[in-house]
Amino acid sequence: METKTFTIPSISCAHCCNAIEKELRELPGVKSVESDAAVKTVCVSWEKPANPEKITELLKEIHYPPSD
């Protein structure tokens, strides 16, 4: 399993975190998602078929593009 922390500048509140977590958990292969509005990060753990590119694409689609 791989893990990466994404910095998401557009996170502003718990609602943002909940929306991101809900969407990412539906991505096949994603095992866990933890977000923190205070530091604007999302930590994602995954296995195949998920990968950083698919996670980044989904974040862009839901209007929370990562800055990394």
State the Cα–Cα distance between residues 44 and 35, nearest whole angstrom.
Answer: 9
Q: How many of the other CB atoms lie within 10 Å of CB of 19?
A: 16
For residue 68, the model assigns a pLDDT of: 66
CA distance 3 to 38: 20
pLDDT at 39: 97
Domain boundaries in the chain?
2-61
Amino acid 14: pLDDT: 95
Edge-to-edge strand ranges of the sheet holding 30-36: 2-7, 41-46, 30-36
Q: pLDDT tens digits, residue range 15-65?
A: 999 999 999 999 999 999 999 999 999 999 999 999 999 999 999 999 999
Q: Which CATH number fits domain 2-61: 3.40.50.300, 3.30.70.100, 3.40.50.261, 3.10.20.90?
A: 3.30.70.100
pTM: 0.92
